[in-house]
Structure formats: structure tokens, C-alpha cells
């Protein structure tokens, strides 16, 4: 190869990184001879492609099936390239589980490799940092100022219970290591945390000592790190907020960075959330009451504002309450979610009061000399103007390439939210990821429909990116049995009870005839609840623990309990189709209740179907089936997590064999060796892996 890579480090010939990576991953290479790891041809192929992407500043979409070892395939080339080029290497993932695996296991393997291989020792001192949203950090400067405010009778910002909470935070911050709210148990009161976290202009290098302020210290470490670990939500939140390098500078998030997005199957959904509008009644009310709460008669305005200012906040609170109450009680009286088609669907009684509050804040800033308080108030003013602009734009449907909807949420349905999302997220992702003149790798175990990743590539705007599919090295023909029910009633209106009775019967039968743990994947919370009611007594009778999403613990705690039970039954939907990694008998049967088609009535799905129709396409073939195929493969991927794993996949949706599109789902199976069964012949067909 010819050419030179010019960067802030030592110029290298193009191909140096690829050659170095090849010496590590090839058969008989360093990974195998020094660390004793198995040689995986798929892993080696992926690592070489990743190295090419980084070295040439090109984009790559790579599907790496379960067992390929994709983390090392991008971490090792990334660290080598970062150290040599002195460029930051961003690693973004969706789940905390993967972040912890990278930090606590994979990066340690990298360091061990570099230390033990002659010629690689200089790479062993690479530095890592975890990027967390600044609102998660405690700012010791703001905490100190808040404590001072509790001693002032004039300020009266914090009532007694919040003063006690500040004292608890002060004690915690003096002993904790990172100052991140996730370290605090129990979590801080939201009203108090708002007053002390680092998400404020007053938390700055000008006001805060990096040796004391947790956020400023973390920021300093971040800027000096080779590997920066972040989650997708924060990544796209920062991109949406305008953090990427300006002008022609390359880099997705930091100047001159290069990036890997793991668990990239979630990228379109998460980007859609962050490139749209999201304003809730709760957030507006909370922001206003931070300025002044008429009930407690406390807030920032108590010290610095006049009665006129207090009245302005009070009027805005009343207007906000009436505005969101009308939407929740009148417009959303019959359903919890509703798409908005026409502008001016309600009176905009809130924007004027919000603008008045913003003007009152600006006037106070001009009058006071306290720079710290000026910074705090400027943040509040920006927030009020942002709410005003966003609500104005929503009511006017200013973004004609977005779908707009309103919804009720919260435990009692009392929170009303205005939301919008782009109809097509590809242009935004193309700009955010693939037009930044740097190496960008998107990877996951499931990016394709089993044949190609054309649909995914189009969805993320990566049309010019290289694509690569590396299959799982696991022996599915030997270790996995697949059973397809042929007699399930079609999920049609009016046949719900018959369908749910069938699912309940089959799920109990399949679980009872299987000694290990069973993960049952649903496509709707309604089905899950109904089947739970029908099966709970049976599982109790046979002494098999039943764990259900939405009924007891958090997702992580529920999965942990299921894994420890070793023969439990876990009912889940939505996020349970991905991100569960339980090897061995504890999860040795996956039951798919229905093919995972998205709800076509959700505003985003409905609008995108209309958009595809308007372009002359076919929504079912062009969007719904490709997305369902990816989700289907993700669900099946929960079964075999290690070479020694064995188990069965049971599909209780006869459409896979009765509908023309079912052929595509058959082709997506990890093995073509499957058995058909029904309620009459299941005794003779169904074989538990434990019985073999």
C-alpha cells in the first residue's frame, strides 16, 4: 500500500496498522500463542477490516455473529491506532452490561496482550475514560454554594427535608470516588440534585478546581484518554446539542476522533428519539418551580426577584398546568397516545408566560453582581426560551419532515408529553456519522435480515460504507433444535381469547417438557399480562419460578433472578429480545410467541408507512418485514451464547409456514433443520435437549 497518514503523531505508511493487527489475530498470532485464546477466523477478518477503516478514515458496517469476539476485534486495532496517531478512540454502546464487559474484561485482555508481546509494550499504557452526562456528576462548587444558601434566611430555597438531603450529599461527596449519582444510595431527591449537579454554566473551569470538582476532573481525564467509552443515548444527545467539531474539522464527537458504535442495531431508534422533540408537563413544571414554588414559597427568585417576578412565574405555572391538562383530559381522553396531523390543534396559552419569565430572568441578571448566580439564571433563561420555542414549533408543526404526537405517561398517566421524530433519520445520521471524514464502525450481532444489510444500510444513511457479515462460529446444527407450531390461530381481531388460550397452553407445555430455563418473548404487554394470568397457577403447581416484566423487579434484577433460578420461566417483551446474555442451562429454551412485527398504529410507524407509500414503495416489504427479521434474529440469538451451550427455539406463530413472507423468516433461522409440530403430535416430535 502507498501513501502516508498525516496526524499529530509519527507519520506511518498506510497498512502498518493492518499488518500489526494481522500479526495479532492470525492463526499462530499473539492472541493464540501468548494469551492462549482460540483462533477465530471470523474475528481475524473483522479486525483487519476495522483496522482498514481506522487507517483510511472510512466507514464500515460489520455484522459479527454471537461468538465472533467482536469487542477485541475493534478494541485492539482502536487502541493501537489511538496511541500511534494520538487521536481519541470513541466506543459507544447501548447497554451498561457491555460497557462493564469492555471496562472490566476486554480492556484488561488488551493490556495483558500488549505487556507480554515484544514490541507492543508501549501500547500497554493506554488511558481510558468513561463519558457520563454532566448532569450525572456532583459539582462540589454548586454543592458548597447550596449549603451556604441553607444558612441564609433571605434565600429560603430549600425546605427542611432538602437541607437534610444536602448534608447527606456533602458527606457522600467527601468519601466517594467519582461523584456520579449512580454511586449514591438511595438516589438524591431530584429537586436537590438539580441544584448541585454539573449541568450548569456555573460548573466551569473558571469557577471549579479540577482537583475537587468531580465533573471537571472527569473532563480533564477524558481529554487525555485514548479510549473514551460512552452510551448511545448520550452520544446522540451531544450530537443533537451541537457538540461535534465545527467547520471542516474531522471527528464525530471530539476533535479528530474515530468511532465504534457497538450494539448498532439500536442506533436508528435511539437517534430518532434524540433528533426529535420531547417536552413533558413534568419537566416544564419542575423548571418553573426551581425559580419559585408558590406552594412552598421558595426558589431562586425568592432572594433576587421582585413580587412582579414571582407573579410571572406563578402565572406561567398556572398556564402550564392548564395547557397540559387540556391536552391530557380533553384531547387524550380516549387514548394514551395520539398523532397530531394539523397545526394549531390547541390554544397556545403557555408560550407567552414562558417568554415573560425569560424576560424577568434577563432583567434580574442585569441587576445583580453575583457572577455565580448570573450563570445559574442564564441557564434557566435558556431553558425557558427553549421550552417556548419547542412548544411553538410543535403546535405549528414547523418540522414538516417529522411526525408529531402527544402521549400520557407516568404511573398514573398524569404526565403529558409533546413528541416528534424525523420520518427518515438517515440524512441526520449520514451527517452525524458518515460525513465526518473519520473512521466510523457500526457493529452488532444482527444488522442484516440474514441475507444482506441493505435495509439497515439505507436506514442509517451509510450507503457509501463498506459492509461485512461474519457468521457465528457456533455449531447450531448440532447444539440447537428448532420447533415451529403449525396450528396456532392467526392473531386477528375477535380471535384474541382463542389465540391467547393457545399461547398459554403451548407455553406451559413446552416449558414443562424442558428442564432448563425458558425465555418467552412477546410482542405486546397485553399478551404478556393475559398469558401470565392464565399460566401463573400452573407454574406455581409444578414449582417453576415465573418472572414477568413489569410486575416486580427492574430488568437487570429480573434477569439476575431468572439466571440464578436455573429452571425459571421469564416473560418479556421489547428490550428482552436483545441484550440478555445467559449461558448454560439457565436459559436453554427460547419461545417466540409471535413474529415481532412493530405496532403499525404507533404514530412513528404509521407516518413512516405513509412516507414510503408516497415514494412509491411498499411499507410491509420495505420496512416492516426487514425490521421484524432483525428482531426475530435477535430473539433467537439469546439461546446459544457459548460453544458448549445447547437448547431449543420454539416458534408459536404459524404464519412462518403459512404466509408467503414466512419464507424469509425460515431463511433467517440459524439452522435449516427444524421440525413442525402441533397440539396433537407434540409428544412425539418435541425433544428436550436434556433428554438427548
pLDDT mean over 360-371: 92
Confidence category of residue 8, pLDDT binned at 50, 70, 90: very low
- Between 298 and 548, residue with greater pLDDT: 548
Q: Are 455 and 618 in contact (CB under 8 A)?
A: no
What pLDDT score does 206 carry? 85
- Dump the DSSP string for 484-536: EES-PPP--TT-HHHHHHHHHHHHHHHHHT-SS-EEEE-S-HHHHHHHHHHHH
- Between 601 and 536, residue with greater pLDDT: 536
Reduce the DSSP state of residue 280 to 3 states and report it: strand
Confidence category of residue 7, pLDDT binned at 50, 70, 90: very low
pLDDT digits (tens, 9 = 90+) for 474-527: 999 999 999 999 999 987 765 557 689 999 999 999 999 998 999 999 999 999
Phi, psi of 561, rounded to the nearest 5 degrees: -65, -40
Q: Classify residue 15 as exposed, middle or buried by CB count within 10 Å of its CB (0-12, 13-18, 19+).
A: middle
Q: Which residues on neighbouring strands pair with residue 406, listed in sequence order?
A: 338, 418
* CA 171, chain centre distance (Å): 32
Q: How far apart are CA 376 and CA 373, in angstroms?
A: 5
Q: Is the peptide bond before 418 cis (omega within 30 degrees of 0)?
A: no
Phi, psi of 371, rounded to the nearest 5 degrees: -65, -40
pLDDT digits (tens, 9 = 90+) for 77-107: 999 999 999 999 999 999 888 898 999 999 9
Predicted confidence (pLDDT) at residue 2 exceeds the cutoff of 60: no
pLDDT digits (tens, 9 = 90+) for 270-290: 999 999 999 999 999 999 999
What pLDDT score does 495 carry? 54
pLDDT digits (tens, 9 = 90+) for 397-432: 998 899 999 999 987 889 999 999 999 999 999 999
pLDDT mean over 427-443: 96
Cell numbers standing for residue 331: 384531547
Query: Mean pLDDT lowest for which of 205-219, 556-570, 583-597?
Result: 205-219
Running DSSP on this structure, what letter comes out for residue 233?
A: H
Mean pLDDT of the chain: 91
Query: Mean pLDDT lowest for which of 187-191, 415-419, 558-562?
Result: 187-191
What pLDDT score does 262 carry? 97
Predicted confidence (pLDDT) at residue 4 exceeds the cutoff of 80: no
Q: Are 383 and 287 in contact (CB under 8 A)?
A: yes
Predicted confidence (pLDDT) at residue 169 exceeds the cutoff of 50: yes
pLDDT mean over 255-280: 95
Q: Are 70 and 101 in contact (CB under 8 A)?
A: no
What pLDDT score does 3 carry? 30
What pLDDT score does 103 carry? 92
Which stretch of DSSP H or E encloses residue 105?
A: none
Q: Percent of the chain having pLDDT more than 90? A: 75
pLDDT digits (tens, 9 = 90+) for 650-671: 999 999 999 999 999 999 999 9
For the sheet containing 258-261, what is the strand order? 128-130, 227-231, 89-93, 258-261, 440-444, 59-64, 466-470
What pLDDT score does 494 carry? 56
Cell numbers standing for residue 433: 456519522
Q: pTM of the prediction?
A: 0.90
Q: How far apart are CA 414 and CA 420, in angstroms?
A: 20
> What residue spans of 542-686 are helical by DSSP H?
555-565, 603-614, 619, 625-636, 655-658, 662-667, 682-685
Confidence category of residue 156, pLDDT binned at 50, 70, 90: low
Running DSSP on this structure, what letter comes out for residue 405?
A: E
pLDDT mean over 356-376: 92
- Dump the DSSP string for 187-213: PPPHHHHHHHBS-STTSSTTT--TTT-
What pLDDT score does 163 carry? 86
What pLDDT score does 443 carry? 98
What pLDDT score does 311 carry? 96
pLDDT digits (tens, 9 = 90+) for 116-131: 999 999 999 999 999 9
> What residue spans of 86-178 are helical by DSSP H?
96-101, 107-116, 140-150, 160-173
Predicted confidence (pLDDT) at residue 692 exceeds the cutoff of 60: no
∠ CA 430-432-437 to the nearest 5 degrees?
85
Q: How far apart are CA 422 and CA 400, in angstroms?
A: 9
What pLDDT score does 10 carry? 39
pLDDT digits (tens, 9 = 90+) for 617-657: 999 999 999 999 999 999 999 999 999 999 999 999 999 99
Per-residue CA distances from 202 to 140, 205, 209, 225, 373 (Å) = 11, 9, 12, 25, 8
Amino acid at each position: 500500500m502507498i501513501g502516508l497518514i498525516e496526524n499529530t503523531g509519527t507519520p506511518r505508511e498506510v497498512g502498518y496498522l493492518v499488518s500489526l493487527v494481522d500479526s495479532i489475530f492470525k492463526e499462530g498470532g499473539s492472541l493464540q500463542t501468548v494469551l492462549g485464546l482460540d483462533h477465530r477466523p471470523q474475528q481475524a477478518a473483522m479486525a483487519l477490516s476495522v483496522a482498514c477503516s481506522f487507517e483510511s478514515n472510512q466507514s464500515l458496517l460489520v455484522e459479527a455473529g454471537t461468538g465472533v469476539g467482536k469487542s477485541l476485534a475493534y478494541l485492539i486495532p482502536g487502541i493501537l491506532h489511538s496511541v500511534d496517531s494520538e487521536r481519541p478512540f470513541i466506543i459507544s454502546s447501548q447497554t451498561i452490561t457491555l460497557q462493564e464487559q469492555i471496562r472490566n474484561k476486554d480492556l484488561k485482555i488488551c493490556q495483558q496482550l500488549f505487556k507480554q508481546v515484544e514490541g507492543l509494550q508501549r501500547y500497554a499504557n493506554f488511558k481510558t475514560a468513561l463519558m457520563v452526562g454532566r448532569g450525572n456528576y456532583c459539582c462540589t462548587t454548586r454543592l458548597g454554594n447550596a449549603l451556604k444558601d441553607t444558612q441564609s434566611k433571605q434565600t429560603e430555597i430549600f425546605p427542611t427535608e432538602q437541607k437534610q438531603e444536602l448534608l447527606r450529599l456533602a458527606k457522600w461527596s467527601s468519601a466517594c470516588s467519582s461523584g456520579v449519582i449512580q454511586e449514591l444510595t438511595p438516589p438524591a431527591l431530584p429537586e436537590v440534585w438539580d441544584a448541585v449537579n454539573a449541568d450548569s454554566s456555573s460548573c466551569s473551569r473558571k469557577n471549579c478546581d479540577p482537583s475537587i470538582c468531580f465533573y471537571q476532573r472527569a473532563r480533564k481525564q477524558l481529554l487525555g484518554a485514548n479510549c473514551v467509552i460512552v452510551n448511545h443515548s448520550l452520544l446522540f444527545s451531544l450530537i443533537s446539542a451541537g457538540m461535534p467539531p465545527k467547520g471542516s474539522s474531522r471527528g464525530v464527537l471530539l476533535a479528530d476522533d474515530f468511532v465504534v458504535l457497538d450494539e448498532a442495531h439500536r442506533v436508528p431508534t435511539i437517534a430518532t428519539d434524540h433528533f426529535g422533540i420531547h417536552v413533558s408537563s413534568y419537566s416544564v413544571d419542575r423548571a418553573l418551580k426551581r425559580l419559585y414554588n408558590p406552594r412552598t414559597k421558595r426558589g431562586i427568585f425568592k432572594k433576587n426577584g421582585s413580587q412582579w417576578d414571582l407573579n410571572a412565574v406563578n402565572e406561567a405555572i398556572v398556564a402550564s398546568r392548564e395547557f397540559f391538562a387540556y391536552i391530557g383530559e380533553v384531547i387524550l381522553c380516549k387514548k394514551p397516545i395520539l398523532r397530531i396531523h394539523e397545526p394549531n390543534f390547541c390554544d397556545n396559552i403557555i408560550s407567552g408566560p414562558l417568554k415573560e419569565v425569560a424576560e424577568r430572568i434577563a432583567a434580574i441578571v442585569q441587576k445583580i453582581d453575583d457572577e455565580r448566580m448570573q450563570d445559574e439564571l442564564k441557564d434557566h433563561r435558556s431553558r425557558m426560551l427553549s421550552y417556548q420555542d419547542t412548544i411553538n414549533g410543535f403546535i405549528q408543526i414547523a418540522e414538516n419532515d417529522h411526525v408529531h404526537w402527544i402521549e400520557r405517561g407516568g404511573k398514573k398517566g398524569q404526565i403529558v408529553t409533546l413528541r416528534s421524530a424525523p420520518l427518515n433519520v438517515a440524512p441526520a445520521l449520514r451527517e452525524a456519522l458518515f460525513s465526518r471524514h473519520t473512521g466510523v464502525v457500526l457493529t452488532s450481532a444482527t444488522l442484516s435480515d440474514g441475507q444482506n444489510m441493505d435495509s439497515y444500510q439505507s436506514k442509517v444513511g451509510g450507503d457509501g460504507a463498506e459492509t461485512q457479515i461474519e457468521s457465528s462460529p457456533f455449531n447450531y446444527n448440532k447444539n440447537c433444535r428448532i420447533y415451529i407450531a403449525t396450528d396456532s390461530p392467526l392473531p386477528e381481531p375477535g380471535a384474541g381469547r382463542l389465540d391467547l388460550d393457545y399461547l398459554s397452553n403451548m407455553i406451559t407445555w413446552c416449558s414443562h417438557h424442558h428442564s432448563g430455563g425458558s425465555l418467552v418473548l412477546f410482542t405486546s404487554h397485553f399478551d404478556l399480562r393475559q398469558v401470565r394470568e392464565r399460566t401463573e397457577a400452573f407454574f406455581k403447581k409444578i414449582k417453576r419460578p415465573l418472572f414477568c416484566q413489569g410486575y416486580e423487579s427492574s430488568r437487570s434484577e429480573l434477569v439476575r433472578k431468572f439466571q440464578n433460578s436455573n429452571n425459571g420461566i421469564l416473560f418479556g417483551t421489547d428490550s428482552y429480545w436483545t441484550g440478555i446474555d445467559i449461558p448454560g442451562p439457565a436459559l436453554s429454551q427460547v419461545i417466540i410467541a409471535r413474529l415481532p412485527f412493530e405496532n403499525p398504529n404507533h404514530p412513528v410507524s404509521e407516518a413512516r408507512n405513509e412516507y414510503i407509500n408516497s415514494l412509491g414503495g411498499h411499507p410491509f416489504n420495505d420496512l416492516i418485514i426487514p425490521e421484524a427479521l432483525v428482531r426475530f434474529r435477535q430473539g433467537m440469538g439469546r439461546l446459544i451464547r457459548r460453544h458448549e451451550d445447547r437448547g431449543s427455539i420454539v416458534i408459536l406463530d404459524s404464519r412462518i409456514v403459512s404466509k408467503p413472507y414466512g419464507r424469509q423468516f425460515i431463511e433467517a433461522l440459524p439452522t435449516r433443520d427444524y421440525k413442525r409440530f402441533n397440539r396433537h403430535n407434540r409428544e412425539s416430535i418435541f425433544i428436550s435437549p436434556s433428554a438427548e
